[in-house]
Structure formats: structure tokens, C-alpha cells
Amino acid sequence: MAEQTQSPTPAPDATTESPDGGRRRVIAMTIWGVAFVAGWLVIGLPTDPAYAFLWIWAGTIAWNSARPWRSHLRFARDWIPVVLLLATYNLSRGFADNGATPHAMELIVADRFLTGWLTGGEVPTIWLQERLYDPSEVRWWDVLVSWIYFSHFVATFAAAAVLWMRNRRRWIAYMSRWGFLCAAGLVTYFAYPAAPPWWAAQNGLLTEVARISTRGWKEIGMHGAGNLLNAGQIASNPVAAMPSLHTAFALFVVLFFMRSVRKRWWPLMLAYPLAMTFTLMYSGEHYLIDVLVGWAYVGMTFLVVGLAERWWAARRARRAGEPAGAAGVP
């Protein structure tokens, strides 16, 4: 998607906030936080795109509660197409296998080749679960894994919401790359349907693998916290494993913001996609090869979309008689 050659007006209205705007924001965000926790405990964590969108929209309204409603309606105008595209993506990938047996053995062989020197010839999932997973006891790292796994469903959207409020031009660049990444993943699911470790174990290709990405919530009394996610996992398509968009999204968010953050914070930022990688392999959701291909897709996304933006900016500049470098992602 092309960048604008002029500095766009910010998405929200440039309304001067009232003197008590700070107190109003605190009250509104407190109400939003209480409502979110109540909804989370009763209904479940917002892992569905439409449900997550409603909470994020409500959060932007609470944060900018002093602004007129037309400002908040712009959020819906810009975001509803994104939510519809994501819902279509989630629905369409359910048809990716087309009744065919998914690829699994090649992924097992690839993981054994990549890590067999460390794991004694086992895939990382089995090696990790043999050392860390106890069916009779939930450990602290199981709780942490569940939270990291859940972050996949909100981190990308939350970062996009902040961008929308602060710099709509960068929001467009962000969503262009995110949309391309989703589309590339979806095409691959149809071209190469592949199954995760838990599926391979259920079908006799691996020894026992437990699917444990959500077990940590129950340990801290949040029995309803993962209702929507658990229901989604039951209905999910087991062939959407290659590439791992869970880890791809985590790396994508980090790389997009990395240039605007001081280098001393880079190791902390990169810890997030690494933690997601551990989570996915330990919980039986993905192989290491899925993760590596997901990372490669992120690199391809930044390269292809960046080149497309520069080509489009140069084309518009030629038409307008402006210098070709007038537009670009800040």
C-alpha cells in the first residue's frame, strides 16, 4: 500500500482536552479495565478477531474519552475492513487441507536434523515435554507459557491501535505489512498443508505429545479465561502449521518498532519472539522448522512491501513532478 506524500492529519480530531482531561481519562480507563477483567473471567480471553476489536475500540474510546464521537467512529471505519479480512482469513484457512492428509513426516525429519545433536534425535517438543511437563502438576512456567501464547491474539492489534492513535501514516505501513504476511501464510496453508506435533502424535508419527498451551490459566483460578481460545482450538484446522504465524507475528511487531527504540532495549524486545518460539514448541503447537519459515516470511514481507511502497512513491512522484524520495515510512 502506498504511502502518502504529505503528512496526513492524525486520525483523531485535534480537540483541545478539558482541564480535567487527565482525571477523566483515568476514570474511563479504570472502568474499561474493570469491564475487561469481568468479561475475561466470564466469557474468556479475547482471541476472536471481532471480540478483540471491540475491546481495543473501547480502550481507544476510554483513552480519548474527551474527544467527539466522530473521532471514535473513524476508528471503526478504518478497522472494520481489517477485522473482516482477518475473519475471512481464519475461516478460509479451515478449508486449506481440502480433505488431503497433511504433511507431517517431513517436518519431523527437519526438526531432528536441526536439533538432533542436542536432543538425542528427538524433535524439540518431545525433548522439552520430557523435561518440563508434568501431567499431574502445573508449574510456574506453564502459566507463563499460557500468557505468552495468548499474547499472540492481542499484541499485533494492540500495537496497531497505538499506531492508529499516534501516527496514521505508520499505521497504514504497519497494516500493509501485516496483511501481506497473513496472505502469504494463507497461500502456504493451501499449497502445503502441514500438521503440528500434537497431530503427529495423535496419528502415531510421534510418541505422546500433550497440547498444553492453555493449561496454565486453570492453575491460577481462571477456569473460564480460555473458553474462547479452547473452543477455537477444538474447531481449528490442524493443517495451518507451516509457517508459524504465531512466532511470525511476534517477530513482525518487534522488527517494525525496533528502529524507533534505543538499541539497549533491542535484546529485551527480541526476547518476545524467542519466548513465543519456546512456547510453541513446548506446548506441542509447532516445530522449529515452522518457526524458522515464519521468520523468513517476516523478512520477505518487509522486503516486498518496502519495495512496493518505494515503487509506488516513485511512480506518484513522477506523475506529480516531485522528487522520488518525497515519500517513505518514517
Element at 148 (helix H, strand E): helix 140-151
User: Which of 90-99, 171-180, 223-232, 298-307 is least confident?
Assistant: 223-232
pTM of the full predicted structure? 0.79
Does residue 1 carry a pLDDT above 50? no
Query: What is the C-alpha to C-alpha distance for residues 193 and 95, in angstroms, rounded to an integer?
Result: 10
Q: Check residue 100 and give its pLDDT.
A: 66
Residue 205 has phi, psi (to 5 degrees) of -90, -20
Give the C-alpha separation, 164 to 76, whole Å. Answer: 11
Banded model confidence at residue 26, pLDDT cuts 50, 70, 90: confident
| pLDDT more than 90, % of the chain | 29
Mean pLDDT along residues 204-223: 76
pLDDT of the residue at 329: 54
- 230-to-71, 276, 287, 288 alpha-carbon distances in Å: 35, 18, 20, 23
Summarised one tens digit per residue, pLDDT across range 113-133 is 999 899 888 999 999 999 999
Q: What is the mean pLDDT of residues 44-50?
A: 67
CA–CA gap between residue 269 and residue 265 (Å, rounded) = 6
